[in-house]
A and B are shown apart, each in its own frame.
Chain A
Amino acid sequence: MLFPKPLAGIILILALVLTQGCIVTRGTVGEPLQDDAISAIKKGTTTMAEVISMIGAPDRIVRGNEREIFHYYYYDGKSPAMLLLILNFIRMDVKSDNLYVFFDRNGIAEEVIYGKRTGRTQFKLWPFGD
């Protein structure tokens, strides 16, 4: 036996006491954008249909200047909270990834702009400071 029974009981009670009032929440919007699918988009050759088959339909389409821009996004939020008997701390950190594929008049990708921020989302409880 790895632990004697009283020790296991003490560890269990300690874990329950230390984690009581703790809440850990995670929320996401959309699906994470796959780096390999994004890097497969070649400027000047990849068509609109190919982009849709690789990444899926865009979350938003921006039209203007006789061109179309596909916008894909993904949001990731982490929120730990500590609700004690008299003192409560709650913090939420939300970040977004955005992918834009710019198409020319012929529906060929001419620019790809991708920004990934969700990798820096943290479960950080302390609400003070940066």
Chain B
Amino acid sequence: MTNVAARFHAIRLIVGALCIFFLCAGCTVRRAIFNDAITSEQVNFVRVGQTTIRELADHIGAPDEVTESDFGFVALYYWSDTKSAALDFGAIGRLFLPYSPTMALSKTGVTPEQFQVVFDPQWTVRAYGFSRRATDEPVIWFWPF
């Protein structure tokens, strides 16, 4: 009886491992992160007409770009979190066959985001805001349709 139970346990383990093996077969997960995200909580301290570029840099670091606009200088902070996943149905075949064609579904989501601050000539904040925020997508999402 103990032998049968032990054997059943081993079979379950093997079947489970094979299921995971076939579920993962052909999966590619990629992630590219550029800079740390800036949250609205981190910029709560900013007061229009009061906060200077020095105070801003002390709190959230130097901007990635400073450029001039019609309204004054603009400091830009960039960050992004790119998620990409692919599933290649031909991967399993390649384990057993000399040739198996690639049949892949793939999806990539690039989400560049910005925090923009406009300054007056005295380098005091005139306006600020975040770019359009993307919804948080899952890391594995290879359905392209």
Residues of A at the B interface (CB closer than 8 Å) are: 62-65, 69, 71, 73, 79, 85-100, 102, 111, 113-117, 120, 127-128
From known contacts A86-B92, A127-B30, infer whether A100 and B35 are also in contact, taking CB-CB under 8 Å: no
Kindly state whether residue B54 has any CB partner on chain A within 8 Å. yes
Instruction: Please state if A100 and B28 are interface contacts (CB–CB under 8 Å).
Output: no
Kindly state whether residue B95 has any CB partner on chain A within 8 Å. yes
Residues of A within 8 A of B99 (CB): none
Which secondary structure dominates where chain A touches chain B? Answer: strand
Residues of A within 8 A of B121 (CB): 65
7 interchain residue pairs of minimum CB distance? A115-B62, A115-B61, A64-B68, A127-B31, A92-B32, A88-B28, A98-B62
Binds A, one of B10-18, B19-27, B42-50: B19-27
Q: Bound state CA distance, A89 and B139, in angstroms?
A: 11
Kindly state whether residue B53 has any CB partner on chain A within 8 Å. yes
Residues of A within 8 A of B61 (CB): 98, 115-117
Determine the interface band of chain B, counting residues with CB < 8 A from chain A.
20 to 34
Instruction: Please state if A100 and B30 are interface contacts (CB–CB under 8 Å).
Output: no
Q: How far is the CB of B20 from chain A (nearest CB, A)?
A: 10
Q: List 7 A-B contacts (CB under 8 A).
A: A62-B73, A87-B25, A91-B32, A98-B61, A98-B64, A111-B54, A127-B29
User: Beyond the given A86-B25, A95-B36, could you list 10 further A-B residue pairs with CB under 8 A, ordered by the A residue number?
Assistant: A62-B66, A73-B64, A87-B25, A94-B33, A99-B62, A100-B66, A111-B123, A113-B54, A115-B62, A117-B61
Instruction: Please state if A86 and B67 are interface contacts (CB–CB under 8 Å).
Output: no
Instruction: Please state if B54 and A92 are interface contacts (CB–CB under 8 Å).
Output: no
Q: How far is the CB of A129 from chain B (nearest CB, A)?
A: 9
Instruction: Please state if A69 and B35 are interface contacts (CB–CB under 8 Å).
Output: no
From known contacts A62-B67, A62-B68, A111-B53, infer whether A90 and B33 are also in contact, taking CB-CB under 8 Å: no
| Bitwise interface map of B from 49 to 61 toward A, beta carbon under 8 Å scored 1, else 0 | 0000110010001
Kindly state whether residue B109 has any CB partner on chain A within 8 Å. no
Q: Bound state CA distance, A128 and B137, in angstroms?
A: 12
Q: In this complex, what residue of A is CB-closest to B60?
A: A115
Instruction: Please state if A93 and B33 are interface contacts (CB–CB under 8 Å).
Output: yes
Q: How far is the CB of B104 from chain A (nearest CB, A)?
A: 12
Residues of B within 8 A of A111 (CB): 53-54, 123
